[in-house]
Structure 1
């Protein structure tokens, strides 16, 4: 199974760190954020990784190269213009092939074990959900047994972690350009084609300097 890391964000809320450094290369306890994902994926047995990028993206390619130093084969999907999540994935599909692939948001930090995603996909998507963080108390979806549904204002919601397994068929009928992933997922949920799981381990959406400090504290405590 291949994996894709979304790394095209500009990281405006993390300025001044991201003025001259792409967000995925911002160091967390001395290690670039994206490297935690790559090491975790390699440990889980993944070999082929696709990374999209835009803002200062050449720095990412220069730092990671072909991934050989991490035991990986990394290919890149550069974006000349912002394509949002859905458009970015759609552009990268020729590099990902026809089989389901793992998707990871590049701006999260987690102890999630990616090896458990080496399972046959039921439907069009499988989402890893987490408890709602303080900055996103309303959540995104709800988990009913192993099926994910749109929250639609209901209670017992969870937040999408930014980790998923997607079938390329989810993007059938899409056209090149900028579009969001969420509408495609919600349409698949309405058809009962999205499974999910609840991860209760460490997970942080590293979207601000304060949350970056939170991750560094977790890493210090973990040592």
Structure 2
């Protein structure tokens, strides 16, 4: 079985996190989101993977390379062009990206899976594939039941008791929702789907291709299964998922570094003064210095090459690499980097222009001491 990972989006709702890296490369502690996806596909014996890239896509390609360390083969389809020596991103939509790959290489010559690159997922692919084949489906959408009060956050799929899709609703109100089955952005397709995807134009799976297939009475089914799905749609989601990762809620994930005591991970070269108080789970990256009387209450992460000065007090805080926090700082429910901050409600700001300008700096700045 072959796969495509959708990774060409600009991640505009996740700025400033995505100013320098594409959304699928956002680190969960230290592991990029897309790495979780590739490992899942490899476990299910998917060996050939295409990734469409656009916004800062070369960051992803430089990290993943050919996929050899995951036991897979990865190819990249860049959506954009050169202009005056610069790469200009030019996404063509999720279905348009599939079409571009098919037109250039005829890659999709068997049943294939398409996965959005901005969520951590875990599910039984074989069971989903068996369902797809049993229905003779041209397209199967993996759905997840969400609480009624959350339906307005998702694309909702409305199906009959046999799983055949009748309609779609984009973030409906609870009163208008036809179901509480959310589209997870995971699809299984047959190659025959390409006769419905135009070439050379922007075309989307969720808003264009699937509704058109349903309108044409093609066999489109939804399959609701047990699935772990951590969707990073907003800044607040990202902070929540970082906390859940430290709390052990992401199956199979453990932070790197040495687990000193239960729930406390420490990287090589890191110094933690004996008077520091740590309430786990807490991750501290490599070559970081935790000074006297610092208090860390989990879930909290401190990146590599950081310095937390005497008396700093952090609770549910995520500190990016190379961040120096001066004495007297007390923080709660926030992500901090040398450049910007993000609160758990999703609000953001620049360090240089916000309330933390005198307390946060970059350890790479030789003048900070």
TM-score past 0.5 threshold: yes
What residue in structure 2 maps to residue 89 of structure 1? 98
What residue in structure 1 maps to residue 159 of structure 2? 143
Residue 76 of structure 1 aligns to a residue whose secondary structure is strand
- Partners of 2:209 and 2:40 in 1: CA distance: 27
Q: Does 1:179 align with 2:203?
A: yes
| Distance apart, 1:141 and its partner CA | 1.3
Residue 176 of structure 1 aligns to a residue whose secondary structure is coil
Please list every run of 5 or more consecutive structure 1 residues that lacks an aligned counterpart in the other structure. none
Q: Deviations 1:144-166 (Å, cap 9, x if unpaired)?
A: 22222214655224211000101
Alpha-carbon distance change, 137 to 55 in structure 1, aligned in 2, over 3 angstroms: closer
Q: Does 1:19 align with 2:23?
A: no
Farther-moved stretch of structure 1 (196-205 vs 16-25): 196-205
Q: Does 1:165 align with 2:188?
A: yes
Farther-moved stretch of structure 1 (171-180 vs 82-91): 171-180
Matches within 5 A, 1:1-12: 1-12=1-12
Farther-moved stretch of structure 1 (10-19 vs 171-180): 171-180
Please list every run of 5 or more consecutive structure 2 residues that lacks an aligned counterpart in the other structure. 81-89, 170-175, 249-253, 255-369
Residue 69 of structure 2 aligns to a residue whose secondary structure is helix
Residue 109 of structure 2 aligns to a residue whose secondary structure is coil
- Partners of 2:106 and 2:146 in 1: CA distance: 33
Structure number with the higher helix fraction is 1
1:189 to 196, 207, 214: 214
Q: Deviations 1:110-166 (Å, cap 9, x if unpaired)?
A: 222334344363221011011247373574211322222214655224211000101
- Alpha carbons 2:100, 2:199 under 8 Å: kept: no
CA-atom RMSD, angstroms?
A: 2.1
- Alpha carbons 2:157, 2:168 under 8 Å: kept: yes
User: TM-score normalized by structure 2?
Assistant: 0.56
User: TM-score normalized by structure 1?
Assistant: 0.90
- Alpha carbons 1:44, 1:115 under 8 Å: kept: yes
Q: Does 1:43 align with 2:43?
A: yes
More contact order relative to length (CA 8 Å, sep ≥ 6):
1
Query: What is the aligned length?
Result: 223
Query: Which structure is larger by alpha-carbon Rg, 1 or 2?
Result: 2
Residue 247 of structure 2 aligns to a residue whose secondary structure is helix
